[in-house]
Structure 1
Amino acid sequence: MAQNKYDDRAFFDEFMHLPSQALGLQGVPEWPSFRSLLPNVRGTKVLDLGCGQGFTCRWAREMGAILVHGVDISEKMLASANHYPPDPAIEYERSDLETFSLPPSTYNLVISSLAPHYVEKLPSVIAQVFKTLTPGGTFVFSPKWNEDEKPAPLDDYLNEGPRSTNWLAEGVIKQHRSFATYITFLIQAGFAIGALH
């Protein structure tokens, strides 16, 4: 099972005080760039892997998606998502992305914002995403994002694997991957790369 710091009370409380959580999508630094990659969702079925509080799920419904399925490992994040007014076209599910099984040819769009760096077995998740997309479907994802961080060399950039960081708490495990590795995983699963930001 993937590490789940978000259900640790102290970590969750710290996380909920971040601007991205207090302000919704308007407070998410990566949202403008991420949003620019998304297709028109009107009339589509959308899957959000690592949906957190469901901000993007609710956005997709506001933009006309007919069905949205949000998946997250954190019980506390999903409880927060369920505090918003219910929408029968949004379904939230608690599951570990590494063991989650997706139905074939179901979704027009799969998104995963700031979750892939927590997934150890990312190639199998990406392969499942490819299979769950309808023909011509789109997968948009973003790993770790640092707002206003000055470019600097990353120690052992090509040394991939788990790295322990101190972000809101000690010992947060994130999977470091090179840019080339992400691209390779996508190509191996069958994806064609449409855009990069």
Structure 2
Amino acid sequence: MKQNVYDDPYFFEGYMDLRSSEGGFNAAIEEPAVYSLLPPLEGLHILDLGCGFGKFASFCLKKGAAHVLGVDISQKMISEAKNRIKDPRASFLVTPTEDFEVDEGSFNLVVSSMCFHYVKDISPVFEKVALALIEDGHFIFSVEHPICTSLLKGWCSSDKVPKKHWPVDDYKKETIRVSNWFVNGVIKYHRTIETYTNELIDTGFSIRRLLEPGPTITAVAEKPELSEHLRRPPILVLAGTKKAQPQDYV
């Protein structure tokens, strides 16, 4: 069974409270990094995997997208997205990221924000993304940085190492990690940067950009607590382009 913590009422309430602050982690670090890699959105058909409450879909529509399909496992998230977005150019589907089905070559752009570290096997998902995209279509995704998912222990200090630090261990062991975030037993799947990158290449994408973003100077000035994210990368962002298939010549 695929994990769906976002429909847990306690988790959903805590998460929505967290995201209500536009100066928070997502708005200060993840979103600017992803948005910096986007092509011009006007007239594009866009697939948003793990769309949540529709913030990215709303952004795309304001930029002139022709259509945005948001996919999410959470009924609560999709209901929230539908309540917020009444634009006929947007549609939403309750389904796990691993199970989405779309027509071949039906999208110019696929984006997934902070979703794939909840997915057990990303290879078939990447294959379906490649199938869904037109030639030279864009695929951009963000995940919790592998330095962070390696232990999921968070900032630490001790008598021997009094300065707060971020421990990394079992980095090459690509297995389940379990954390407590709003609720107990939240499952994440740790992968290395190498794995994310090579899975993208092996699926037929050329790597356009790799980012390990931190907060801007302006963001830190407004919220000094964000400065800890300059000490280790909290997020990994990868952007790829679907390569043209080789032609057979007679």
Q: What stretches of structure 1 of length at least 5 have no aligned partner?
A: none
Match for residue 164 of structure 1 among 163, 178, 201: 178
- Could you tell me how far apart the structure 2 residues matched to 1:14 and 1:84 are? 19
Q: CA deviation at 1:102?
A: 2.5
Counterpart residue identity of residue 95, structure 2: S
Q: CA deviation at 1:25?
A: 9.3
Equivalent pairs counted in the alignment come to 194
Match for residue 189 of structure 2 among 175, 180, 187: 175
> Cα deviation per residue 1:116-156 (whole Å; 9 max; x = unaligned)?
1111121000011011101110000001267xx78734220
Contact 1:25 1:56 in 2 (8 A): no
Q: What stretches of structure 2 of length at least 5 have no aligned partner?
A: 149-154, 156-163, 212-250
- Residue of structure 2 in register with 1:42 after alignment: 42
Please, what is the CA RMSD of the aligned residues?
Answer: 1.9
Q: CA deviation at 1:26?
A: 9.4
- Residue of structure 2 in register with 1:109 after alignment: 109
- Could you tell me how far apart the structure 1 residues matched to 2:167 and 2:127 are? 31
- Residue of structure 2 in register with 1:184 after alignment: 198
Counterpart residue identity of residue 91, structure 1: S
Alignment of 1:4-153 (within 5 A): 4-18=4-18, 20-23=19-22, 28=27, 29-144=29-144, 152-153=166-167
1:2 correspondence with 2:2: yes
Q: What is the TM-score when the length of structure 1 is the normalising length?
A: 0.92
The DSSP-based 3-state class of the residue aligned with 2:98 is: coil
Counterpart residue identity of residue 107, structure 1: F
Q: CA deviation at 1:27?
A: 5.5
Q: Percent identity?
A: 40
Contact 2:71 2:100 in 1 (8 A): no
Distance verdict in 2 for CA 1:139–1:25, change over 3 Å: farther
Q: CA deviation at 1:38?
A: 0.9
Q: CA deviation at 1:100?
A: 1.9
Please tell me whether Structure 1 or Structure 2 has the larger radius of gyration of its CA atoms: 2
Q: Which moved more, 1:162-171 or 1:107-116?
A: 162-171
Counterpart residue identity of residue 143, structure 2: P
